[in-house]
Structure 1
């Protein structure tokens, strides 16, 4: 999935401007990426997809086959199902190996716990019955439940959800349980690293406003690959500053928060809830300025002028961000020249870029020429303190 521009009319009714119009979202997911991208594009976002991992097919996973054989031979006393898709895939893989009925019998002979409603639905769809599920859909609450009930001498199968659960496994083992880890699907680096590298490069170039993560391995893989390329610190700087890290839940956010990257998460770990959280967060991060009798709102790669969306080319946005850092104050041509691609020493290039910026904004008086000095945003002096959003996206210090 390449970057896709949303279909938004330049002169559309302000009330019809989608909440994510003007923002570019990078998607790191391998699974359900198209679904997430569609939800974002419907809300006006531009999307760039760079999967940071891929899933090993269940039927080809020798670790899962070994765990399944072990559990059929010695059924577990307790089975913890953490994801619906993982549990269903496990049963389907066992059926392909000719062990489907034997696995169901083995699991059914003990107690089944479901981490959430999707896992519960998968258990029941297989003809089995779950005994308990936490309201929080949290692995930590499942662990607490097991430890309170006592697990000494019990054989417990823990279905993993794409990554190890070392804290849970260690706690159960220390409490006297025998734990069998069931890797129903495993994440590995993508076969083609190109899209992931291009996504990282776009982040470093300032072309991504929000980076969306739907699994902890996706975040870990992106950071690991950035380390291999020697750009890990630059990527972390971007994620700690202008780029918003959007995560589907606390488990996904953990690898980022461990390296001091702030994240935004929904209350419920669902794709739809994540997108709704972004709808509320992204517009609040925009920079808002009263300029030349108009209301100017700077988003990632577009501007709202009096509520109407104006798409601005990257060079124009770069100039506008520099001007917006010191609204009302003159910025020299030499300083603006340094923001243009390729640099150079021809200040005439600044004049050309400013002319194009004015044309894109549709209101030439927003950017004022100060003869022999440079340019300024024509900030309204009577407007009082300059209102800003929660952050100046890609704008540096206000």
Structure 2
């Protein structure tokens, strides 16, 4: 099978990015490989640059520096540093934190600590607050002053655990999750994922994943998303195991990026579609991989209309079994779904395939994909 170049690895793929922060960077990386990317952030980030309470707590940190700083999210820690700079507190805050023992809840938090000019003394491999709590309790925190920077959902029990262990805990939440910028865009993205109009949905936070799932449930399409994820026709990918937790809880098959970073998430998607990991079938004209915007046949991408791609996905899902005209009519978009509409759609599909004998007619029964032995 010919190897596709990186520039075309995602040709014909429609990818939904269900995230707000840094979604432009992620979208750009995927578009460079040929994907069509739709941004559908399921939540918004409400920053706290003007949060009176946050600034008051920052001044408390400066007045009484912590022994230990726990950073739970990279975006939160960077936001705190930016807010301190905007209010002229950056130099004083830097001095207050300079001698602290830094604990990072994962690689993104670690990166933000380094970016701010500090050193992470310990990083949780599992990216969980539970591991952070276990490490700190084992280290002994009685009498220690601990600053905990929380993520957008607020405290997740870490404050209480450390307080019970005898620590003096001060928490700070730099940003909070807000409603999606456009709820209709999120609902439409769930419909696309269920209906075969999207090839992948990407998630960068657990609250965002949970919100997107809730929208899909409310729209009545979660079962369709679940079926497509388990069949491999829809790639659901998360930036890390914490983000994947709501997806797993909803019984959605999820691929987790190796390193918990957006670059790793992009590479995961590219290798899935460009490295032969997406579902495919051996056929007479060559190996076939169906995408929402077309089909890869023997390593060559062929663009298709939405109707043609829907027909081909149904035939591929049947794995060589015969599908009746009524079966295929049920997957056609639009109002025209009768036998004549199916025949016209099949004719147009064959025309787009350029003479490749990929779809066979079975007299008086319907159509099947020209599947061969692997």
Q: Give 2:177's aligned residue.
A: 187
| TM-superposition CA deviations, 1:153-181 (whole Å, max 9, x none) | 32211112333351433332332223222
CA distance in 2, matches of 1:378, 1:137: 46
| Secondary structure of 1:297's aligned partner | strand
Do the aligned partners of 2:104 and 2:124 also contact (CA within 8 Å) in 1? no
Partners of 1:118 and 1:325 in 2: CA distance: 38
TM-score, structure 1 normalization = 0.80
Q: 1:374-393 CA distances to partner (integer Å, 9 max, x unpaired)? A: 3333344xxx3xx4xxxxxx
Alignment coverage as a number of residue pairs? 368
Match of 1:258 among 249, 255, 260: 249
For the residues of structure 2 that align with 1:323 and 1:347, how far apart are their CA atoms?
A: 16
- Contact kept? 1:156, 1:177, Cα under 8 Å: yes
Alignment of 1:317-356 (within 5 A): 317-342=309-334, 346-356=338-348
User: 1:131, 1:86 → 2: CA distance?
Assistant: 16
- C-alpha change, 1:306 and 1:113, in structure 2 (3 Å) is closer
CA gap of 1:352–1:145, structure 2 versus 1, over 3 A, is same
Q: Distance in 2 between matches of 1:57 and 1:131?
A: 24
Task: Tell me the equivalent position of 1:359.
Answer: 351
CA RMSD after TM alignment: 3.0
Note closer, same or farther for the CA distance 1:363–1:149 as it changes in structure 2 (3 Å cut): same
State the alpha-carbon separation in 2 of the partners of residues 319 and 123 from structure 1.
Answer: 50
Check if 1:288 corresponds to 2:281: yes
Q: 1:361 to 1:141 in 2, by over 3 A?
A: same
TM-score, length basis structure 2: 0.85
Alpha carbons 1:329, 1:377 under 8 Å: kept: yes
Is this contact kept in 1: 2:145–2:168, CA < 8 A? yes
Give the unaligned 5+ runs of structure 1. 1-12, 388-398
CA contact (8 A) 2:114 2:120 kept: no
Q: Which moved more, 1:28-37 or 1:83-92?
A: 83-92
Structure 2 segments unaligned to the other structure (5+ residues):
none
Equivalent-residue separation in structure 1 for 2:100 and 2:280 (angstroms): 57
Tell me, in whole angstroms, the C-alpha distance in 2 between the residues paired with 1:146 and 1:73: 24
- Distance across 2 between alignment mates of 1:118 and 1:373: 56
Give the 3 Å change call, closer, same or farther, for CA 45–96 of structure 1 in structure 2.
Answer: closer
